[in-house]
Structure 1
């Protein structure tokens, strides 16, 4: 069976993702060599990572709006339209800091609501089926709060990175993560390409 070549797709920051350039013979997905890892082509039916977000389009008409607005007044579209030369300037940093603080506030509010719900549902329910339903709902809510607790830690780390001036750059490569990716995931510490490499490694070798 002939090798299948995936069309190269531009990664954020103008780079071409190495993961999208390769050819892979028809073989199992378990690939041992480093060369094979770098030339792994994702099968549409079993993608290793979620598909990248839709390409961000800049509106030239909004390119200079950031100059006359405060960080709190800027919209996502206006931040996306900012020139690449202004990447992670003081206003962008302040914009993302506000987003992270708002996200943190929402998580803390949810945590308070969970505590209140659990306190209200402490009444003993005689019916076993009803009791099982309540316990299942509690377990689901606690799992959700546990995920949010982990996210809260990442949010606090991201705020610290902003204060240190390191926010917006990939931990592995030092290259810009990209405004579009940060808007979708403000706590991102890896570029899309680096994230794909990490998830591929975890898929092949485990955590």
Structure 2
């Protein structure tokens, strides 16, 4: 699980670096002004593109042929690796829908604001997690409610 999250973070960091390195959203400018919206739009699009590229590589590997390991241990290891890879791609497929949702929110002028409270999410949180839909406080409250209902 840690490697999956690290993979997502690595793709996000590559997307950030591919954008104009001279611009980083700051608190000194209007919150979710044109420059910030364009930055996050480009970041999300680049992140989505990198996920699609990785998925294409996985598909190509799957199409190249089945696993033909002679040794049972090697075959089991290969099948485990493929299983992990496919779970990663499924997780990234779900992430793409979150990216698309964030892009829609940018188009509708709702990006950067908490869907629960309506408060600004904050630049630091959005830079760390561009698909965030809640402030840290609202997210923590949501997770507490989930944990309580799960424990019941």
Q: Is residue 100–residue 159 contact of structure 1 (8 Å, CA) maintained in 2?
A: yes
Match of 1:172 among 97, 116, 121: 116
State whether structure 2 residue 31 is matched by structure 1 residue 87: yes
| 1:46-105 CA-partner distances (Å, limit 9, x unpaired) | xxxxxxxxxxxxxxxxxxxxxxxxx946433xx12433xx00011111110000001000
Q: Secondary structure at the match of 2:26?
A: helix
State whether structure 2 residue 54 is matched by structure 1 residue 110: yes
Taking the TM superposition and a 5 Å limit, the aligned residue runs for 1:25-174 are 72=20, 74-76=22-24, 79-83=25-29, 86-174=30-118
Q: Is residue 112–residue 133 contact of structure 2 (8 Å, CA) maintained in 1?
A: yes
Match of 2:133 among 174, 180, 189: 189
TM-score by length of 2: 0.81
Q: How many residues align?
A: 133
Q: Is residue 168–residue 189 contact of structure 1 (8 Å, CA) maintained in 2?
A: yes
**C-alpha distance in 1 between matches for 2:123 and 2:99:** 17
Larger gyration radius, structure 1 or structure 2: 1
Q: Secondary structure at the match of 2:130?
A: coil
**C-alpha distance in 2 between matches for 1:112 and 1:154:** 19
**What is the CA RMSD across the aligned residues, in angstroms?**
1.8
Q: Is residue 177–residue 191 contact of structure 1 (8 Å, CA) maintained in 2?
A: yes
Q: Is residue 67–residue 75 contact of structure 2 (8 Å, CA) maintained in 1?
A: no
